[in-house]
């Protein structure tokens, strides 16, 4: 590997960063992140990065604001240290959910954070499975948008009988994503059509597609509180699904998610390690796949000037 390549990690997911470095055969470069007595953050880069090609791994996970500030200050420190190019590697970009002005007097925060990253010193961004693909266009620097769909699809191919399986989108907005997943496995798909049933905003799900007697796999970009997943499971069970499974790229699993999933009538849940999963969030029914090889391959291609899109051809 070229000596000009350096990889740093902030505090959100050092395990993923270490695994990426192991795949590339290089050590994780040292950075010291500390706090002053007034709670202000300080970041010090602990090695020479002058004219180096630098990548910083940081997911926007809880505590989100702290992790964003860590990344911003690290990017600025690297720019001040004369790094040749700085790439922000953001496995999970949580503010991709804030992609439009759907209420009066609110911020399109996905765009705001993009602007802040560039101001801080990011020359490029590498991310995975944005909740809203149009967020890609919020950046005025190059963005490489990876997907874990092939990784998750391969897990289901190896561990399940696909002959009786159907992929399920939790709503019409997720149909395009689930369509790519179902095409990868060459299985049919169904969509949950949510209808408002009265003025209290209660929604009732109806299945568009055939799930009776079939093994349904719900596919999402992320699982946060698991509320949508839980209602989808109930709808599929009521529609006669033989078994229910779920796949999601980002296993955020916040709030009541773990307790909901612990008691939910679902056979298996597959997520990736874009989000660090502490011991308290482990359940026997949850499998976590690694996306480190994909990020490592993308970093190697960016560093050497090769096509990142070719990884998915």
Q: Kindly list the catalytic residues.
A: 194
Residue 197's SS3 state is coil
Per DSSP, helices labelled H in the chain are 14-24, 64-80, 109-120, 149-159, 175-185, 227-238, 257-263, 292-304
Which whole-number Å values give the CA distances from 249 to 62, 149, 252, 282, in the listed order? 17, 8, 9, 16
Other C-beta atoms within 10 Å of 121: how many?
Answer: 20
DSSP characters over 12-68: S-HHHHHHHHHHHT-PPPPEEEEE-TTS-EEEEE-S--TT-EEEEE----SSHHHHH
78: left (phi over 0), alpha (psi -120 to 50) or beta: alpha
| Calpha distance 250→91 (Å, rounded) | 9
Characterize the bridge pairing of strands 53-57 and 203-208: unpaired
7 sits in which H/E element: strand 5-9
The neighbouring-strand residues paired with 220 are: 248
Closest of 154, 96, 167, 128 to residue 296, by C-alpha: 128
Helices (H) and strands (E) in the chain, counts: 8, 14
Sign of CA dihedral 116, 117, 122, 128: negative
């Amino acid at each position: 590997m070229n000596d000009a390549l350096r990889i740093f990690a902030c505090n959100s997911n050092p395990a993923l960063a270490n695994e990426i470095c192991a795949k590339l055969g290089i050590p994780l470069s040292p950075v010291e992140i500390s706090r002053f007595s007034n709670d202000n953050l300080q970041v010090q880069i602990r090695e020479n990065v002058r004219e180096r090609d630098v990548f910083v791994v940081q997911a926007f996970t809880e505590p989100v604001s702290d992790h964003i500030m860590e990344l911003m200050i690290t990017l600025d420190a690297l720019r001040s240290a004369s790094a040749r190019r700085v790439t922000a590697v953001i496995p999970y970009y949580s503010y991709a959910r804030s992609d439009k002005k759907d209420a009066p007097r609110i911020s399109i925060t996905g765009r705001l954070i993009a602007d802040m990253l560039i101001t801080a010193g990011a020359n490029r961004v590498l991310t995975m499975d944005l909740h809203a693909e149009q967020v890609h266009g919020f950046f005025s620097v190059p963005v490489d948008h990876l997907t874990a769909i092939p990784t998750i699809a391969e897990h289901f191919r190896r561990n399940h009988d696909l002959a009786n399986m159907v992929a399920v989108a939790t709503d019409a907005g997720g149909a395009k994503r689930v369509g790519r997943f179902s095409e990868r496995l060459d299985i049919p798909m169904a969509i949950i059509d949510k209808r408002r049933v009265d003025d209290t905003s209660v929604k009732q799900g109806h299945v568009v597609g055939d799930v009776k007697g079939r093994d349904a796999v719900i596919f999402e970009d992320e699982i946060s509180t698991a509320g949508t997943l839980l209602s989808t499971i109930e709808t599929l069970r009521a529609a006669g699904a033989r078994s229910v499974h779920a796949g999601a790229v980002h296993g955020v699993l916040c709030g009541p998610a773990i307790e909901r999933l612990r008691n939910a009538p679902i056979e298996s849940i597959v997520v990736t390690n874009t989000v660090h999963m502490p011991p308290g969030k482990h359940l026997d029914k949850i499998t976590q796949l690694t996306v480190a090889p994909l990020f490592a391959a993308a970093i190697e291609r960016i560093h050497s000037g090769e096509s990142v899109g070719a990884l998915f051809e």
